[in-house]
Amino acid sequence: MSFLNRLKDMAQQSLKEGQDAFSRFNNQVFADAAMAACALIGAADGTIDQQERSKTSSFIGSSDKLKAFDVTRLRSKYDEYCDKVTRDFDFGKIELMQVIGKLKKPEEKRAVVQLAMLIAGADGTFDEKERLVVRDISNALSLDPGEFGV
C-alpha cells in the first residue's frame, strides 16, 4: 500500500470517527436542544429574517455533524423554534432555554454550545449579541462561558 493510500485511509477513518462521535448524541433531547440553540443564535438581534432562516436550514441539511439525525425533523423543529422566538422573543427565549436545559451529559452540553458557535460564525462574524446568546446557553447548561472564549 502506498503512502498516499494509507494517508487517504487514515483521513477517511478520522472522518468516520468524528461522525460516529457526534452520532452517539442521536437522541431527541439533544436534537431539540441543538435546534433551539440554532434558533436562538438566529434571533440574537431580536428577529430572524427569511434569508437567515434559509441559510441555517441549509446548514442543517448539509452538516456532516448532523448527518446522523433525521434532517427533515431537525428542519421542522428549527422552524418551530424560530416561529416561537419570532412571535415573542422574550417568552420564546425562555422556552428554548428550557429545552436546552434538559441536556444532562457534559459532552452533549458542550456539543450544543459548539454548534451554536458554529452557526454564529457561519456568516463570517461573531458579534456581541451572538456572544451573549452563547453565554446564556452556556449558563443554562451550567458550563463556564470562558471555556468557549465567550
Domain ranges of the chain: 3-145
At residue 68, what are phi and psi to the nearest 5 degrees? Answer: -75, -10
What does the pLDDT read at residue 18? 41
At 17, list the grid cell.
Answer: 470517527
CA distance 59 to 53: 10
What does the pLDDT read at residue 124? 78
CA distance 96 to 84: 9
What does the pLDDT read at residue 26? 65
What does the pLDDT read at residue 51? 85
What percent of the chain has pLDDT above 90? 51
CA distance 26 to 65: 11
CA distance 118 to 87: 25
What does the pLDDT read at residue 6? 55
Point out the residues of the chain with pLDDT beneath 50: 4, 7-8, 10-21
What does the pLDDT read at residue 24? 59
Q: Does the domain spanning 3-145 belong to CATH 1.10.3680? A: yes
What does the pLDDT read at residue 10? 47
What does the pLDDT read at residue 148? 86
